[in-house]
Amino acid sequence: MMSFDFSAIVAALPYLGKGMLFTLQLTIVAFLGGLLMGTVLAVLRHIQMPILDKVIWAYVTVMRSIPLIMVLFWFFFLVPVVLRALSPTGMSVSVSPQLTAFVTYTLFEAAYFCEIIRSGLLSVPRGQYEGAKALGLSTWHTFTLVIVPQALKAVVPVMVTQAVILFQDTSLVYVLSLTDFVGAASKIAQRDGKLVEFYTFAAVVYFVACSLFAEISDYLRNKRQARGSLRVPSAVAANVGT
């Protein structure tokens, strides 16, 4: 009869903690970097500069059409080849697994955040642009002080959901031989022969963390809907008028 022994998890907590620390570091850096880059890309697309818009569209489309694990492989193996080809001396260049993970996840998330933020920009009433223009604000100040803050506020629940997906996707760093939380649990589980115990523990940790994120997302969504309901009469009147 199969018996379960979870006592080994207690002894492995320091190693699991290091794995979780890397998971959180990667999640935070990729989230903030992706959000910043995605916001810039979204604004540039929103301004509708023909050539630049097509370039950004192509970037976003490619990133959203390819599995993250393939992007990790490409960056890790192809970037050194490209850098070597561009080097005047032909010197070989290596990219560390850590750098690959942080850069790749950031670039990958930027594509998703670009579309998320762009949807927020499209939700900002046209009158906000006209009001900023009437106040004599430049395009830079119009977006940084008026438009982007409102767009970000509108898509906070979606950004939280994307953060959950990113948190889960960090487990893919195993292809780079990096040790995140799941990787740490897997290594000890195979070493001690306690696969069920460690994978169950990892699943519980992810379930609790993602459930917490989901509650935050639902709270923010409900809070925004409650605020939006106060503006329904004016919104309906505006729609009737059009």
Residue 234 included in any domain: no
Spatial CB neighbours of 105, under 8 Å, sequence gap ≥ 6: 26, 29, 30, 34, 68, 166, 169, 170
Residue 217 included in any domain: yes
Q: Supply the DSSP string of 119-166, one letter for each residue.
A: HHHHHS-HHHHHHHHHTT--HHHIIIIIIHHHHHHHTHHHHHHHHHHH
Rounded to 10 degrees, the C-alpha dihedral 153/159/164/170 comes to -130
Determine the pLDDT at residue 227: 66
State which residues of the chain have pLDDT below 70. 1-4, 90, 224-225, 227-242
CATH code of 102's domain: 1.10.3720.10
Whole-angstrom CA distances from 24 to 21, 181, 238 are 5, 9, 45
pTM of the model: 0.84
Residue 238 included in any domain: no
Question: For 201, phi and psi rounded to 5 degrees?
Answer: -60, -45
Whole-angstrom CA distances from 193 to 4, 8, 169, 183, 205 are 11, 10, 25, 15, 20
Determine the pLDDT at residue 95: 83
Determine the pLDDT at residue 101: 95
pLDDT digits (tens, 9 = 90+) for 183-212: 999 999 998 888 888 999 999 999 999 898
Residue 102 included in any domain: yes
User: CA 211 to CA 215: how far, in whole Å?
Assistant: 6
Residue 32 included in any domain: yes
Confirm if 35 and 112 have CB atoms less than 8 A apart: no
Number of domains in the chain: 1
Determine the pLDDT at residue 237: 34
Determine the pLDDT at residue 3: 60
Q: Could you give the maximum distance between any two Cα atoms of the chain, in Å?
A: 77
Determine the pLDDT at residue 2: 53
Residue 242 included in any domain: no
Residue 241 included in any domain: no
Spatial CB neighbours of 217, under 8 Å, sequence gap ≥ 6: 157, 160, 161, 164
Residue 239 included in any domain: no
Domain carrying residue 210: 8-227
